[in-house]
Amino acid sequence: MRLLITHEEIVDICKRLGFEITQNYKGKTPLVVCVLKGACPFHSELIKHIDLDLEVDYIQVSSYLGTESTGVINFKKDLEFDIAGRDIIIVEDIVDSGLTLSKLKLELQKRKPSSLKFVSLLDKPSKRKVEFKPDYVGKTIDDLFVIGFGLDLDEKYRNLKDIYVFNQD
């Protein structure tokens, strides 16, 4: 495992994104949605730096088998709130092929939110299979498989406070 992003850098990223979101949603009450499970630590840190009367919700969608995306969206846990007419910010850990969030976007748009934006801690644009551009990105990375700070490999390593590149050695 090779250290890629320190916890301190992650907190700095959250401060920057939190400030941008605070500026962009002044006077609004966004619903800040965590995509379980991987985005949990990022969502928790990010909302500390958003100075708004926000609300939170949680959603769990498709699975990821080993290191290959299935590309199939499956709602394991749906939102608690009705999002019609609301400002929705979806918080994800990483965008890879773009399949998960592009499909989630299509599904959630059917519920007629007032606005729907996406924040991702990490982005791997070189891996896209479908066009998808998050509205806010913490850090763009190369085509690497990363673990830690919520990101898993078969459910392990989510508890690491930093982010590492996973390799077999």
Which residues carry out catalysis? 96
Q: How many residues bind ligand 5GP (CB under 6 A)?
A: 18
Q: How far is CA 52 from the centre of its chain?
A: 19
Q: What is the rounded CA–CA span in Å between residue 117 and residue 54?
A: 14
Interface with ligand 5GP (CB under 6 A), residue from 13, 50, 99, 108: 99
Q: 3-state DSSP call for residue 49?
A: coil
CA 96 to chain centre: 11
Q: Is 116 in the site for ligand 5GP (CB under 6 A)?
A: no
Residues 15-44 binding ligand 5GP (CB under 6 A) are 38
Q: Residues 149-168: x/- map of binding to ligand 5GP (CB under 6 A)?
A: --xxx---------------
- CA–CA separation, 5 and 146 (whole Å): 10
The alpha-helical segments, DSSP class H, found in 25-83 are 40-48
Q: Output the smallest distance, CB 149 to ligand 5GP, in A.
A: 10
Where on the chain is the footprint of ligand 5GP (CB under 6 A)?
38, 64, 69, 92-100, 145-147, 151-153
